[in-house]
Amino acid sequence: MSYMDHSATSPVNPEVLKEMLPYFTESFGNASTLYALGREARTAMENARKQVASLIGAQPNEIYFTSGGTESDNIAIKGTTSKLKNKGNHIITSDIEHPAVEETCKYLEKNGYQVTYLPVGEEGIVKVSDVEAAITPETILITVMHANNEIGTIQPIKEIGALAREKGIYFHTDAVQSVGKIPVNVEDMNVDLLSISAHKLYGPKGVGVLYIRRGVQIDPLFHGGGHERGMRPGTENIPGIVGLGKACQIAEENLEKNMEYVSSLRDRLIQGVLGKIEQSYLNGHPTKRLPNNANFRFSSIEGESLVLQLDAKGINASTGSACSSKKLEPSHVLMAIGLKEVDAHGSLRISLGTENTLQDIDYTIDAIDEVVERLRSMSPLWCATPPEDA
């Protein structure tokens, strides 16, 4: 099997699993209790907080543990808008956000907030000038993802953050896809809130982080026992938190080496597919993209059939976003970069990991070529008149 869907989820690193296991059994204490077993759990949790903070250039007391990226996005957006509702009711975001941001903004629209959805153009990049033009006296939050989960494009977060800070507007970024893959420093990026998910960087599912810059005031979504300084009440998931911390430590120690290795695999894959397969195209920016992401489209075939036939060859990849790949509608991200619906349905996302090899890449190039040829031989669109252009 060649697993090539790391943007959907990643396998738990064996070192991470080893670190977690004692907190399911002998060190199972509740971190809120005063006796030794509880103190042991709290110590482990605070150590993980330091590990996460170190990876993103934050202070430990700016790290709040959640159940994952979706919850972090919801707390950031709903918490900010609730706190600032007397100041304004306008939010700025982009047309290519993850559903955790997009759907939260749509929910707020139904509840009296105004949302501006910025276009991205064919390369999938938000223009800072568009952000500036969208700001009004009512703007209380800008939320733009760091790197897109489908096409891998990296946004000018530092510049958007500087603009937001100049205007006195809170700035949130969903960094679920970027943390652990490329350098992320909250100070350098000028962000006030940032979301992380453990299972995207070789940690466990069901745990994440919301970074909240010191001094930023937002309302909690839940109320209860006061855990996470009242921001996210509920007994902490100590095994998951420990795993997240260890995954962050490993990512920080190996970041440059992993970036170089994975980007070399990505480039070989892109060159091989585009060079070998007629009317194949790369979606998104050619260089301003995550080191592990390659998103292709192929004229006159359907992406789900491509994914299923690759699966039969032992290659795991996806079409569109894995979070919504069972939907029949075309990807809103691919539509936002200007693709026709038929082309958006012919997409393939391959997202690589450190365990992939050159042999995986070469096998995948050949497999895609074979499957595309087979599907086109059955495609009425291709057989009738091979298109000149996508």
Could you list the active site residues? 323
| Residue corresponding to tokens 């569109």 | 320
Q: Report the C-alpha gap between 201 and 290 in whole angstroms.
A: 13
Structure tokens at 118: 């910025």
For residues 326, 348, 9, 107, the Cα torsion angle rounded to the nearest 10 degrees is -50
Instruction: Render 187-240 in DSSP notation, one character per residue.
Output: HHHT-SEEEEEGGGTTS-SS-EEEEE-TT-----S--SS-TGGGTS-S---HHH
Instruction: Tell me if 53 sits within 8 A of 63, measured CB to CB.
Output: yes
Q: What share of the chain is helix, strand, coil (3-state, %, to 5)?
A: 45, 15, 40
- Which pair of structure tokens corresponds to residue 359? 């042999």
Which uninterrupted H or E stretch holds 360? Answer: helix 358-377
Residues in the chain: 390
Dihedral sign, CA of 236, 238, 240, 242? Answer: positive
Q: Parallel, antiparallel, or unpaired: how do β-strands 170-174 and 139-143 relate? A: parallel
Specify the residue for token string 């891998």. Answer: 152
DSSP string, 3-15: E-BTTT--PPPHH
